[in-house]
Amino acid sequence: METDPVATIVLHDSMETKEVDRCSHPGCYGRKVTYEASLKQIVSLMDQSESCEQQMIYGCFSAGGKNDEMPHSWWIDRHGRPQHDWNGANAGEHTCNCGLHGDCSDRWSPDAEAPGWESDTGVIADVAALPITEIRFGESEGERATHTLGGLTCRGEAARSENPETSCSSIRRDGNTRSGYHLINKENGRFEVVLCRMDLEETDPDFQVETGATIQSGGAIFDAYRTNNYNTPASVIKYESSNVNIGNALQLSTGIFTAPIAGIYAFQFHCFNGDHGTDFLVYIRQNGARKAEIRKYSGTMDADFDMVGQSVILQLSRNDQVDVYLDYGDVYGGAGRIYTHFIGYLLQAL
């Protein structure tokens, strides 16, 4: 492996020009390519580079690259798959440099046979397939051909993610090539523990193994309260202060909780009902829909003042809203009494 100020070049055992052995069948000539770095190291280099490419020069004397629409030359990618693109990143297409640019010689192209020495240079840039691990040529009986395969050349530095990593692939692209357990952010606010097998290809099903373990971040816990009376009918109860408001998902001035992430949440509301001899009705609502209620009928209790409450567990999507709505009645306070509390917290992220 060589490094210069602008590029890193991975060398191999087939850097010199090689003559293709004469044979009569498609792909009958083959040359395996052995690199000076392991495949794991090469993939890591490509993941961390802005771009990578590999140059192929093919020279021929009355030799073509294709016959009767059957390609008889190809290369093998790092996954063991045959590739017929000889320039750019045209996976699955039979292409060469002169064919893409429309300047193939009349005496040589991948689609025609003609006498005389010609050559074509292609630069393969498909990082999902590189490096080239084997070269195959064929139908060269009675003809002469040569090939020169350059080293894998990588330049620049891949842009690093500004957000938490979302997969083992993104962890490796950011330069971490150590196998082990890692945290990935699969959803906003929820981190999952996964096993990353950095020694495997990303296409291997065991490259990223889910463990089922999660770590919650960005959740919400609040305990808001009032000390004064609240008796505005048909309105959302507002709060004066809070003991806890982690994440600030509850806005005290409006009394509305907005879910920061999807999940299962628990809510509780309790207060001192102080409306003498009249009915009292409060709802816990999700997006304006009634989910739980506290009701008192006049004359059904032994006393006019009662401590009442309700609890509910709700499944919320991100940005769903929950509030406590006073339909009618009186929520009692005064003299520094902290009777009224609205409490909520995340049980499990979804």
Q: How much is the pLDDT for 109?
A: 42
Domain with CATH 2.60.120.1000 in the chain: 2-155
Dist. CA 202–CA 174, nearest whole Å: 14
Residue identified by tokens 């979804």 is 350
343 and 242 Cβ atoms separated by less than 8 Å: no
Q: In CATH, what number does 221-349 get?
A: 2.60.120.40
Residue type, 182: H
Other C-beta atoms within 10 Å of 103: how many?
A: 10
Name the strand (E) or helix (H) holding 169.
helix 168-173
Dist. CA 114–CA 61, nearest whole Å: 8
Q: pTM of the predicted model, to two decimals?
A: 0.47
Q: How much is the pLDDT for 101?
A: 47
Query: 326: which 2 tokens?
Result: 């006073």
Q: Closest by alpha carbon to 294, among 275, 276, 277, 273?
A: 273
Residue identified by tokens 């044979």 is 23
Per-residue model confidence as pLDDT tens for the chain (350 residues): 555 557 889 999 988 888 888 777 888 888 999 999 888 888 888 887 888 999 988 887 654 444 444 457 889 999 899 998 877 655 545 444 444 444 544 433 444 454 566 778 889 998 889 999 999 887 655 567 788 999 999 988 776 655 567 888 888 777 777 788 888 877 655 678 899 998 888 888 999 999 887 766 667 899 999 988 888 999 999 999 999 898 899 999 999 999 998 889 999 998 887 655 567 889 999 999 999 998 877 655 455 567 788 999 999 999 999 999 999 888 888 777 888 999 999 888 87
Query: Domain 2-155, what fold?
Result: Jelly Rolls (2.60.120)
Q: How much is the pLDDT for 90?
A: 54
306 and 293 Cβ atoms separated by less than 8 Å: no
